[in-house]
Amino acid sequence: MTHILLRHRDIPDLNKFEVYKKNGGFAAFKKAVTKMQPTEVTDVVKNSGLRGRGGAGFPTGMKWSFIDNKNWPHYVVANADESEPGTFKDREIMEGNPFQFLEGLALASYAVGATAAYVYLRGEFWELAAFLDEKIAEMEEAGYLGDKLFGTGYSLKIFTHLGAGAYICGEETALLESLEGKRGQPRVRPPFPPSYGLYGKPTIINNVETFTNVPLILANGADWYKSMGTADSAGVKVFSLSGRVRKPGNYELPFGTTFRQLIYEHGGGIQEGRPVKAIMPAGASSSLIVVDDKVLDTPMDYATVRTLGADLGSASVIVLDDTVSLDWVINKTIHFFKHESCGKCTTCREGTFWMRNITDRIHSGNGSQGDVDLLLNVARQMQGKCLCALGEFSTMAVVTGIERFPQDFKKVVKA
Amino acid sequence: MSLEKTHPKEVKQILSKYPPEHKRSAVMPLLYLAQREEGYVNKAAMQDIAQMLEITETEVASIVGFYTLYHDEKAGKYRMQVCTDLPCALRGADEFMQNLCGNLGIKVGETTPDGVVTLEAVTCLAACDKAPMFQIQGPNGIKYHENMTVDRTMELVETLKKSDRGVK
């Protein structure tokens, strides 16, 4: 198929300015700035059915329309913090198709009247940030960024900003705190960023993949985009496939593709031809899905995955085969969340600490069934009481792992 | 010595990214700049940055403490940071790490006796399809090494050690 986001796989050297331009690049941005009202841009995005690709799936155009027009200046921020275990799509998009991402960011900025936009990259993307800086400079040079663009009154600058190793900064208000030069700890919400964001000003934050959809939506129209995917989830998604599959990697597919198609047709099936035991469709934050034939034939969109007792999230599909024990899996995920807890709210700070102690006891073979029950109890007690989604996410694999795979825990506890 | 004296061009460029009334935003890029030479941020550098941004030294130190890529203690010249999170572990990252420890003769968190490599276990680096993998944080920034074997990693370590001796 022809790619929409991973277009660099079809067009060689798409990350070079001239190549991107020759393939229709920047036409949508130029047309928007010279011939469209900002609200018209938002309307097209709204009508396309595009939903946020960072995990929450919030309708993108609706988010943009929430921008507070009584308070200025406005900012747009690209969330390029990509830190969810199992997610590695934004990096490929920015490396392979950087201009389409930056053009989408520019279109969003025009739509909400922002004259400065930031790309917040995780600190590990050090080389990528330098690469994006070059691309931004090329756009400035060619007159696609800077003052009074295309002879209009609209000006825009884009800046990169490197984080420094903190998963929590993928949470949008923690990201804003970090960008303001503070510790990356989430804010109490409401107010939400479209009314109170960067420096207290109205701010739109979207994921890299979300922005990258926008130029082609503007170029081809909302109906074109809606014709792909499902009624609930329009368009295409980059699925990051990892775990025990033969061919892990990014696969851009329409929403509604089944797990079986992703894992077997694209991912080449499971190593050694083993059966799939469980799937985590949203990375380490995911609930664990017990896999049978019916599950494998389930179409992946936001609403349908929910009927399996999980969320599609950022579509970071981690596949576990029958060699993997769930007590080990949750030991891994709990250690991750314990390490990444920002410490601001007691529930998450203390909860992940005690979950870590209990899971270590169980995993080392020194636990009892009572410890498994206690772990489940702690995780359930945390739910609904954390300041942000990170704390809630830390419990998902624990609760669903113990509830849906009790035999894996019976095997490791002392009688 | 102040960063404004030693790296005037870089400091100016960093500050230009943020509104002048919100120059505190520059604390993270300035810390990277301060860390570049010695691989960690010393007290004097924190004081210098605090003064430049008109915030307290404690506020700067709290940033150093919060984020894992800033360090306040000297370690090996190169920090080899191996991802051992779930997706990488499903592709052999734990065994890779164990073998690496054996070959380097150090435990996770330790530094080789010549002070060149510190071995660290870190959380997800967004390269889950290319495990085993690690990044090297060194004087010239951060570089990814993906689809690695222990043999190729040991060759890389030798190269780093040689180039280190060459510098001296």
Answer for the pair B27, B51: CB distance below 8 angstroms, yes or no: no
B43: enclosing H helix or E strand: helix B43-53
Q: Where a domain ends, among A304, A321, A338?
A: A321
**SS3 state at A395:** helix
| Residue that has been written with the tokens 């990214």 in this structure | B17
Query: What's residue B163's pLDDT?
Result: 85
For residue B71, tell me if it sits in a domain: no
Distance from CA of B167 to the nearest CA of A (A): 24
Question: Using the beta-carbon criterion (under 8 Å), do A123 and B69 form an inter-chain contact?
Answer: yes
| pLDDT tops 50 at residue A127 | yes
For residue B73, tell me if it sits in a domain: no
Domain interval for residue B24: 3-66
Query: What's residue A1's pLDDT?
Result: 63
Q: Where a domain ends, among B66, B93, B120?
A: B66
Same domain, B124 and B43: no
Same domain, A240 and A207: no
Q: What is the CATH number of the domain that holds A353?
A: 1.20.1440.230
Long-range contacts of A17-22 (CB under 8 A, 24+ apart): A17/A99, A17/A135, A17/A138, A17/A139, A17/A142, A20/A99, A20/A100, A21/A142
Between positions 327 and 366 of A, the ones with CB within 8 A of B are 329, 332-333, 336, 339-340, 342
Same domain, A255 and A383: no
What band does A272 get if pLDDT is binned at 50, 70 and 90?
Answer: very high
For residue A2, tell me if it sits in a domain: no
Query: What's residue B140's pLDDT?
Result: 84
Distance in angstroms (rounded) separating the CA atoms of residues A162 and A164: 7
ipTM score: 0.96
- By Cβ distance, the residue of B26, B129, B142 closest to A249 is B129
Q: How many domains does chain B have?
A: 2
| pLDDT tops 70 at residue A318 | yes
- By Cβ distance, the residue of A85, A184, A332 closest to B128 is A85
Distance in angstroms (rounded) separating the CA atoms of residues A109 and A158: 10
A237: enclosing H helix or E strand: strand A236-243
**For residues B32-61, average pLDDT:** 95
- By Cβ distance, the residue of A161, A199, A243 closest to B87 is A243
Distance in angstroms (rounded) separating the CA atoms of residues A206 and B114: 45
For residue A200, which residues of chain B lie inside 8 Å, CB to CB?
Answer: none
Mutate to test the interface with A, among B14, B128, B140 (most CBs of A within 10 A): B128
Q: What is the CATH number of the domain that holds A255?
A: 3.10.20.600
Answer for the pair A53, A233: CB distance below 8 angstroms, yes or no: no
Q: Where a domain ends, among B46, B66, B86?
A: B66
- What is the DSSP secondary structure assignment for residue A287, as one 8-state letter? P
Question: Using the beta-carbon criterion (under 8 Å), do B85 and A123 form an inter-chain contact?
Answer: no
Same domain, B84 and B163: yes
Question: Using the beta-carbon criterion (under 8 Å), do B28 and A91 form an inter-chain contact?
Answer: no
Q: How many domains does chain A have?
A: 3
For residue B85, which residues of chain A lie inside 8 Å, CB to CB?
Answer: 85, 284, 332, 336
- By Cβ distance, the residue of B17, B91, B125 closest to A124 is B125
Mutate to test the interface with B, among A242, A276, A363 (most CBs of B within 10 A): A242
- By Cβ distance, the residue of B53, B59, B69 closest to A164 is B69
Question: Using the beta-carbon criterion (under 8 Å), do B69 and A165 form an inter-chain contact?
Answer: yes
**For residues A196-224, average pLDDT:** 98
Q: Where are the beta strands (DSSP E) in A18-85?
A: 75-80
Cis omega (within 30 of 0) on the bond before A85?
A: no
Q: What is the CATH number of the domain that holds B59?
A: 1.10.10.1590
Q: What is the CATH number of the domain that holds A87?
A: 3.40.50.11540
> Given CB atoms, is B145 within the 8 Å cutoff of chain A?
no
| pLDDT tops 50 at residue B168 | no
Domain interval for residue A255: 236-321
Query: What's residue B164's pLDDT?
Result: 79
> Given CB atoms, is B52 within the 8 Å cutoff of chain A?
no
Distance in angstroms (rounded) separating the CA atoms of residues A126 and B28: 13
Distance from CA of A47 to the nearest CA of B (A): 32
Same domain, A241 and A367: no
Distance from CA of B150 to the nearest CA of A (A): 20
Four-point Cα dihedral A206, A210, A211, A217, nearest 10:
-140
Same domain, B105 and B147: yes
Q: Where a domain ends, among B23, B40, B66?
A: B66
For residue A329, which residues of chain B lie inside 8 Å, CB to CB?
Answer: 86
- By Cβ distance, the residue of A161, A199, A316 closest to B22 is A199
Same domain, B82 and B53: no
Classify the phi-psi angles of A86: left when phi > 0, otherwise alpha if psi is within -120 to 50, otherwise beta: left
Query: What's residue A30's pLDDT?
Result: 98
Q: Is B145 exposed, middle or buried (0-12, 13-18, 19+ CB in 10 A)?
A: middle
- By Cβ distance, the residue of B17, B123, B128 closest to A340 is B123
**SS3 state at A201:** coil
Same domain, A298 and A333: no
Cis omega (within 30 of 0) on the bond before A281?
A: no
Question: Using the beta-carbon criterion (under 8 Å), do A124 and B66 form an inter-chain contact?
Answer: no
Same domain, B57 and B87: no
Answer for the pair A172, A205: CB distance below 8 angstroms, yes or no: yes
Answer for the pair A80, A209: CB distance below 8 angstroms, yes or no: no
pTM of the model: 0.96
Residue B54 CB neighbours (<10 A): 8
Radius of gyration of chain B (CA): 18
Query: What's residue A310's pLDDT?
Result: 96
Average pLDDT over chain B reads 95
**For residues A395-411, average pLDDT:** 97
Same domain, A71 and A154: yes
* Out of A71-80, A185-194, B36-45, B55-64, least confident range: B36-45
**SS3 state at A73:** coil
Instruction: Provide CB contacts within 8 A for B114, sequence distance 6+.
Output: B161, B164
Same domain, B61 and B83: no
**For residues A46-53, average pLDDT:** 97
Amino acid at site B96: F
Diameter over CA atoms, chain B:
52
Share of chain B above pLDDT 70, in %: 98
3-state secondary structure A176-191: HHHHCCCCCCCCCCCC
What digits encode the pLDDT tens for the residues B54-98?
A: 999 999 999 999 999 999 999 999 999 999 999 999 999 999 999
**Alpha-helical segments (H) within A150-279:** 172-179, 208-220, 222-226, 259-260
Distance from CA of A278 to the nearest CA of B (A): 13
> Given CB atoms, is A31 within the 8 Å cutoff of chain B?
no
For residue B90, tell me if it sits in a domain: yes
> Given CB atoms, is B31 within the 8 Å cutoff of chain A?
yes
For residue A1, tell me if it sits in a domain: no
Same domain, A295 and A217: no
For residue B72, tell me if it sits in a domain: no
> Given CB atoms, is B68 within the 8 Å cutoff of chain A?
yes
> Given CB atoms, is A122 within the 8 Å cutoff of chain B?
yes
- By Cβ distance, the residue of B66, B122, B123 closest to A183 is B66
Q: Where a domain ends, among A283, A304, A321?
A: A321
Report angle CA A118, A123, A127 to the nearest 5 degrees.
90
Residue A294 CB neighbours (<10 A): 8
Same domain, B83 and B146: yes
Strand order in the sheet with A289-290: A249-254, A236-243, A316-321, A276-280, A289-290
For residue B122, which residues of chain A lie inside 8 Å, CB to CB?
Answer: 165
Same domain, A185 and A146: yes
Share of chain A above pLDDT 90, in %: 99
Same domain, A202 and A301: no
**For residues A283-312, average pLDDT:** 96
Same domain, A60 and A169: yes
> Given CB atoms, is B53 within the 8 Å cutoff of chain A?
yes
What digits encode the pLDDT tens for the residues B140-151?
A: 899 999 999 999
**For residues A4-16, average pLDDT:** 98
Distance in angstroms (rounded) separating the CA atoms of residues B59 and B36: 20
* Interface A:B, Cβ pairs < 8 A: 135
What digits encode the pLDDT tens for the residues A350-369?
A: 999 999 999 999 999 999 99
Same domain, A119 and A247: no
Same domain, A191 and A284: no
For strands A203-207 and A75-80, give the pairing.
parallel
Distance from CA of B3 to the nearest CA of A (A): 18
Question: Using the beta-carbon criterion (under 8 Å), do B126 and A83 form an inter-chain contact?
Answer: yes
Instruction: Provide CB contacts within 8 A for A16, sequence distance 6+.
Output: none
Q: Is A153 exposed, middle or buried (0-12, 13-18, 19+ CB in 10 A)?
A: exposed
Same domain, A36 and A176: yes
Report helix angle A126-141 to A98-112, nearest 10.
70
Same domain, B48 and B87: no
Query: What's residue B1's pLDDT?
Result: 75
Residue A42 CB neighbours (<10 A): 22
Backbone angles phi, psi at A117, to 5 degrees: -130, 145
Answer for the pair A321, A309: CB distance below 8 angstroms, yes or no: no
Same domain, B97 and B43: no
For residue A165, tell me if it sits in a domain: yes
